Structure 1
Amino acid sequence: MRLHHRLLVAVLGTALTTLAADAAELSRFDFDGGLAADAGLGTLSYLNGTTTSDAVTFGTASAFSLPGLPDGDAAVMQFQAFAPEQALAFLPNVPANGGGSYINRYTIFWDTYFPTIDGFMGLVQTSPDNTNDADFFIRGDGAIGISGTYHGNLTQGEWHRIAMVWDGVNLRKYIDGAQVGTQDLLGDVDGRWAIYPNADNPTLFLTDEDNETLPGYISGLSFYDDALAASTIAQIGGPSAGGVDLTGITIELEPPASTGVERPEFTGTCTENPQPLQFNADGSFRIMQFADIQDDHRIEPRSVELMEAALDTYAPDLVVFSGDNITGGPTSNADVRLAIDHIVAPIENRGIPFFITFGNHDEDSCGGDVTLCEPEQLEYYRSFGCNINPADDPDLHGDADAVVLVFGPDQPVNRRDPKAAVWVLDSGRYAPNPDEVGGQRINGYSNSWDYIRQEQIAWYRNTSERFERVFGKKVPGWMFFHIPLFEFDMMWSDDFGLPGPAEDQDAIANPVRPPVSGGDPDPFNRHGIAGERNECVCTGPFNSGLFSAARERGDIVSMSVGHDHVNNYSGNQHGIQLSYAASAGFGTYGLSGAETHRMRGVRIFDLDLARIEDGERLPFDTYMVLAGTDLDICLEPNILDCQNGGSVLAGPAGFATAAVSTSASAAKASGDDLPTEKELRALEHVDCDGDGVLTEADRACLFEVKHGVNVSLTPRAREILSRQR
């Protein structure tokens, strides 16, 4: 099974562990007339018996008219391009290792010959039923790897020895004894690349679930149940007629990789209850919105760097998380807490009050061993000294609906005269039934998310009216939630036309103007929109009326959302400023290609007490702070291309990254991010090549996207991908 390649290559220590040769077990198969092992405890068999055995033939290199191996002729097994029901089934028959219940540290050697390499070839499949993508491939250009990260070059028509060394979340790749690449793998101990140690779940070789296989020859296969070091693999060298022979070799092992992530250091907190919130003596109050950080316990370090730089440079009085604060990936409650710790620590350590609500991804990991769903996550957020969320109201829809008042700078605090209110609403996750509502299908293209419910609108209205009764005035309100309202789309369309977004013409730099009457006093950009729209306004299926309620009450001056990572525009929709904050997280989707991270940033709201008291309708300024332009953070698509004199960017505690810095001035060009598995599923019935019809060419386009051969998608395909949030 292939998953989206995550950034961050763990830096290992240089020390090697030297062990006697019998500390681990080498199983060797020389294919001399059959599948019997020539050494060790491992066994090979034919998956589905004759279904596989009928697809192989045994002989010698010379008998098959192949060139000999460097040291002479060798026994060889010829294999056809296996179908999904065909494979060699391997049982290691050795204990679990690497700190888990499965075999996490191991090395596999292949002595192979491929007459042609013109497509993908699945070598290792850890799923015993072969119902998902294989876990290690040869690519059509001869490179080896997985998840869009491939290295080296196997030459067709020549014998080569491939070595793969797994250590939990680290993979090292070798061709003919030379290391050609390393990569960090998504997961933890006992994750996707772990091998079952028991007889009921074999590891499959030379197969893939969707026929990504090639015909070829193999003269040797060896399995070692530990992670051999580069020095040992160099000694073993290239292909040989006798297969891998460890006789006389002092075995050196790679030191265990750290697969855990330590909790970030907390050096400060709000020592007193951060409420009541107050304007500063100069009448200012700054809110900073973090939207869609959307990462897990192995957070991309630049997300933390962005947070810290923004907090230090712009010194907000309040931070608001508007949802999709974390995402899937955690496999335990401890992982969920770590994911939250990473985004809270920069704020808590600076003693800044913070307010949270949820998006549609925050409880993606909920289920099974993970019981920290949104209600429990809220309580964990509330355990931090700087958090100002009240306990959730169990009778109100959503898990984080709340409001907090901001008072003037007077001392003592005049609690009878609030100057502003900050609201958060939980806009939910997905529509109650994403396939059908009221007997009709929901348009899955853009409207399968959830929406603000009537009881939440009623709660807002009742609370707003209560404030007016108690304080004798309407309290200006700044409202934050995750999923945008229909009015965000209407406002853009009023100024820049329909349909949208489409191609590049929907960008603010080259808008499509709607027809207007000659008497229109403001025929162009009547809403004063500033910013970009690069994807849909991805609403829920219904306009439930929150904007109308706020417009009728007349107290809400701002509504700000996230959800759509590459939208960051803001405009005045009939007296309410509607704003997007683009994604603040470097570990989630962004723009395409070299511009992947260009829009990463935070949104600032500068409230002005003098303008509030003067009765100004929009008594504040709002703007985006961008990671690259304003904070000098490297925007390279891959963090490994952010280099600056060999300095090391510290990631989460205990998770060092390869020698990198994120200075934008030191950036180098890089390639594109690849789609996630979920995103790929969204493309299966999409006009991927943009020719207006669904044909086999679209399947070919999808194939290229899956394997990173071509990630320059059509606007339609790119937009479909963007909806999988």
Structure 2
Amino acid sequence: MKNKLLSLFVLLFWMSTTAMAQELRFRSDSTFRIVQFTDIHYKAGAEPSKKSISMMQATLDELKPDLVVFTGDVVVSNPIKKGWDEVLEVVISRKIPYLVTFGNHDDEKELKRHEVAAYVVTKPYLLNKTASISGVDGYLNGAVAIKGKSGANAAILYAMDSQAYSQNKRVGGYGWFSHNQVEWFRKTSASYKESRKDTLPALAFFHIPLPEYKIAFDDVKNKRRGVRYENECAPQLNTGMYTAMLESGDVMGTFVGHDHVNDYLVDYNGIALTYGCFSGSENTYLRTKHGARIIELKEGKREFKTYIREFDGAILYPITYPFPGKK
């Protein structure tokens, strides 16, 4: 009987601590820190992948973020479940809440996309725990709020599945957001606005850059920070996600991966179109050094600070967005 009671106590304690971890809140100093890891291209048992684990551990131990976001191409080789176990243990062991979005390589091995999603949502501290939404394409689409000091919603974070490859025989290249995903975003954004009678600042995370990334960077009039070392590998079709974000008025910045050697932020009509920092290693092509993008929100302000932290602690491209004169 004592053993049963002890087991019950342990279970309840675990459930309560996990539940508390699911509610995001701004800190007492009104800040909220996010670490974005992208394109880890993890292979369980591969020696190069150990470098990614070490980089993630060092980044999290130094910065102690309030949230981690994995923006696709996380585990790309069998055994898939073991790979996810090893990657997510980095955040789970530190009890850090996290979001996961899929890339184009996350479902190319032994598990299909829905099977990967079904496994990932069993993990503790994951925030976007709905594997699929009825009537909405893709997996792990979700939105979570960050609470302010009053306990009310103060900022919104979107995680979305930007798909993998074109499923239309007449169109090549990468996939695109379905119209039902765009509509889901519009409705979700509107519901948050209605609940607060205000437009809350928001960030959006996904894997494949929108077509507007190239449009924005090609126009030299748009302010930018960081570099473009390869062409943007965006989908050939544009289904209007950027337009939906612009018209909804909440999204301040989008954060993607996919193009490993791009790490820029470019302002486009008041939305920061941003790349993370390649977090993988020699398993695939890479920038000079791998690392993470750091993002810090400030409660009550429509702005964020961001920079890239490389594996050795080097800091690149620090910026407070909006750029001066753009507020």
Does the pair score TM above 0.5?
yes
Match of 1:528 in 2: 223
Distance 1:295 1:390 in 2: 22
Aligned residue pairs total 298
Letter of the 1:606 counterpart: E
Percentage identity across paired residues of the two chains: 31
Query: CA separation in 2, counterparts of 1:630 and 1:551?
Result: 33
Contact 1:293 1:587 in 2 (8 A): no
Q: Structure 1 residue 282: deviation in Å?
A: 0.4
Q: Which residue of 1 aligns with 2:325?
A: none
Mapping of residues 549-628 of structure 1, within 5 Å: 549-591=244-286, 597-610=287-300, 612=301, 616=302, 619-628=303-312
- Partners in 1 of 2:91 and 2:51 — Cα distance? 15
Alignment of 1:435-454 (within 5 A): 435-437=169-171, 442=172, 448-454=173-179
Which structure's relative contact order is higher, taking Cα pairs within 8 Å and 6+ residues apart? 2
**Separation in structure 1 between the aligned mates of residue 38 and residue 65 of structure 2, nearest angstrom:** 15
Which among 17, 33, 44 is matched to residue 271 of structure 1? 17
**In structure 1, what is the equivalent of residue 235 of structure 2?**
540
Which residue pairs with 2:142 in the alignment? 402
The answer on whether the counterparts of 2:41 and 2:284 sit within 8 Å (CA) in structure 1 is: no
Work out which of the residue numbers 177, 185, 203 in structure 2 matches 1:460. Answer: 185
* Whole-angstrom CA distance in 1 between matches of 2:270 and 2:113: 33
1:630 to 295, 298, 314: 314
- Please, what TM-score do these two structures have when normalized by structure 1? 0.40
Indicate conservation of the 8 Å contact 1:485/1:539, yes or no. Answer: yes
Other structure's SS at 1:271 match: helix
Deviation beyond 3 Å, 4+ runs, structure 1: 268-271
Q: 2:53 touches 2:87 (CA, 8 Å); kept in 1?
A: yes
1:380 and 2:119 correspond: yes
Distance 1:473 1:565 in 2: 37
Do 1:290 and 1:319's aligned partners in 2 also have CA atoms closer than 8 Å? Answer: yes
Q: TM-score, normalised by structure 2?
A: 0.86
Segments of structure 1 that go 5 or more residues without pairing to the other structure are: 1-267, 443-447, 496-525, 592-596, 632-725
Paired residue for 2:160? Answer: 425
On the 8 A contact 2:128/2:159 being kept in 1, the answer is no
Q: How does 1:637-676 map to 2 (within 5 A)?
A: none
2:62 is matched with which residue? 313
- Calculate the aligned-residue CA RMSD, in Å: 1.8
**In the alignment, is the contact (CA less than 8 A) between 2:22 and 2:125 conserved in 1?**
no
- C-alpha offsets along residues 31-51 of structure 1, whole Å, 9 cap, x if unaligned? xxxxxxxxxxxxxxxxxxxxx
Q: Deviations over 1:446-477 (max 9, x none)?
A: xx000111110000001111111222111211
Matched, 1:301 2:50: yes
Using the TM superposition, give the Cα deviation of residue 270 of structure 1 relative to its aligned residue in structure 2, in angstroms: 8.7
Give 1:629 deviation, angstroms.
Answer: 5.0
Larger radius of gyration: 1
Q: 1:587 to 1:337 in 2, by over 3 A?
A: farther
Return the letter of the residue paired with 2:139. D
Q: 1:270 to 1:319 in 2, by over 3 A?
A: farther
Q: Which residue number corresponds to residue 361 of structure 1?
A: 105
- 1-structure distance, mates of 2:15, 2:123: 8
Distance in 2 separating the partners of 1:579 and 1:358: 17
Q: Which has the higher helix share?
A: 2
Q: Is the partner of 1:380 in helix, strand or coil? A: helix
In structure 2, runs of 5+ residues without a counterpart are: 1-13, 316-327
